[in-house]
Amino acid sequence: MQLTVFGATGATGRLVVEQALEAGHRVRAVVRTPSKLALEHHELETVKADLFDPDSLKPTLVGADAVISALGATSRNDTGQVCANGVRSILTAMGSTGVRRIAAISAQPVLRSGKGESLVYRTAITPIIRAIYKNNYADLEVMEQLLLDSTAEWTVLRPPYLTDKPATGYRTAMEANISGSSLSRADLAKALLDVLADPGTVRHAIGVTGV
């Protein structure tokens, strides 16, 4: 596949790019600062673009089979809604270029129903996490609603706390969270690539955690 990856210089995005290339995909990495992606490959194209300008993004989507959004806030105090505003621009550019498929990273606490969580986690732990990272989750909630309201073939992954540990495998649950307190970024990157090839995940939010 020809993939366009946003957030390619982030901790997860970089792994998405690396794993996609290893799997034989062609990758167009969209970045603000190309020098931050110190990676060279004959199937990698690094493109500088303005994430919040749909016209700037259109050339990055030409010929793409799918999009991956590995966007994320830089801190818990970030109120810039980078995920929502970024995905809004991406969806607009996708609509102009005919690209339909997108997979995006959200977060476990965005699921308000608590489906799949233990009683203790749902009543004691999740509310604390939501309060601490309220700006981040507000951003992701808007992002998810934008995807839901769109005509795109989207899939959202909702991981728990992310680590830099090696990949060990992952578990998923459709429209529910799943027991597990952490997931490696390497496993999240693999899950993002895997869902793109699974039509059963289209227009679904999926809980994902480590094995």
Q: pLDDT (tens digit, 9 = 90+) per residue, 183-209?
A: 999 999 999 999 999 999 999 999 999
CA distances from 136 to 27, 32, 76, 80, 104 (A): 28, 21, 6, 9, 15
> Residue 172 has what pLDDT?
97
Domain of residue 25, residue span: 2-210
> Residue 181 has what pLDDT?
83
Helix (H, G, I), strand (E, B) or coil at 103: strand
DSSP state of 70: -
Burial class (CB in 10 A: 0-12, 13-18, 19+), 149: exposed
- How many domains, the chain? 1
- What's the pLDDT tens digit per position in 123-141? 877 888 888 888 899 999 9
Helix (H) or strand (E) holding 180: none
Mean pLDDT of 56-74: 95
* CATH code, domain with 124: 3.40.50.720
